[in-house]
Structure 1
Amino acid sequence: MTDVRVATDESAREDAFAVRRTVFVDEQGVDEALEYDEHDEPDADAVHFVAYDDGEPIGAARLRFPNAGVGKVERVAVLASRRGEDVGRDLMDAVHAEARDRDLDILKLHSQTRAAGFYERLGYERRGEEFEEAGIPHVEMRRPVGS
């Protein structure tokens, strides 16, 4: 069973970073210098989430607050061996709950184009044209928090 937690200590944050490194850097070839940024610093205004199965980290996500009432979902990653098991949905459920707790109005994200269908099933809508980010095609998506 998947257990999604907010990463409240350095150990949990490192678990999130390890999942991101495996998925984005090792699997997808994203430059490590692009993957980690100032929003990953311990004092940054971001919430990190980690999905565990029997104590092993299997997924991660990050939520930032770039503008009043707006949350930006970033770095959603699930280990390849665990995809298709609703780990991504469980992560996003935790992100959505955090957004509601913080009284956010809207969530936005940059989805890899190949993952856009996953987010559409969660109520996100595409906005604008496809663009490249870290060498990978993406599309901006948004959804109201209350939906």
Structure 2
Amino acid sequence: MEVKVVKSEEELQDAYKVRSVVFVEEQGVPEELEIDELEKEAIHFIGYDNGDSVAASRMRFVGGYAKMERICVLKSQRGKSFGKDILLFMEDKAKEKGIKKSKLNAQTQAEKFYQSLGYETISGEFMDAGIPHVTMTKSL
């Protein structure tokens, strides 16, 4: 998979499409919660496999952290390390900007995945868009 920082409107629409399929169609997140008022301040990422958009995410800088958000991979493409690839790419971009720590709100079903990449759970379980989450952090 080729991961890129979104640079064009077409790439941004590709990222939104992957996010919509995963979060809105698959997981039932309301569309108005998925695409929000924070999109303009975020750096967006898109992953392509053989020219097809298969993974997406965004990153914001909040309180000294790189906040990793909306990390997703199309269901048909899971199990190929694409989630790991896009997250490590995001971490590299954060480090290039001098950021030393990252944070994310993980769905509890993905907590072990993030732990395998060095993230530590720092919160109890909470609900976001009707889905149980925990907050996790990592030193970069």
Give the TM-score band, short-chain normalised. over 0.9
Q: Give the Cα separation in 2 of the matches to 1:93 and 1:127.
A: 20
Which SS does the other structure have where 1:91 is aligned?
Answer: helix
Question: Runs of at least 4 residues of structure 1 off by over 4 A?
Answer: none
In the TM superposition, what is the alpha-carbon distance from 1:83 to its structure 2 partner?
A: 0.4
**Equivalence map 1:1-147=2 (5 Å):** 2-40=1-39, 44-67=40-63, 69-145=64-140
CA RMSD of aligned residues (A): 0.7
SS in 2 for 1:38: coil
In 1: Cα distance, 2:34 partner to 2:53 partner: 18
Identity, in percent, stands at 44
2:118 alignment partner, SS class: coil
Residue segments in structure 1 that go unaligned for 5+ positions in a row: none
How many Å apart are 1:105 and its aligned residue? 1.7
How far apart are residue 45 of structure 1 and its match?
2.4
Cα distance in 1 between the residues matched to 2:51 and 2:37 = 27
Instruction: Describe the superposition over 1:5-56 as per-residue Cα deviations: whole angstroms up to 9, x where unpaired.
Output: 110111101000000000000000000010011122xxx2211110101111
> Structure 2: 5+ residue runs without aligned partners?
none
Q: What TM-score, normalized by structure 2, do the two folds share?
A: 0.98
Q: Tell me the matched-pair count.
A: 140
- In the alignment, the residues of structure 1 paired with residue 67 and residue 119 of structure 2 have an alpha-carbon distance, to the nearest angstrom, of 12
Q: Match of 2:80, SS?
A: coil
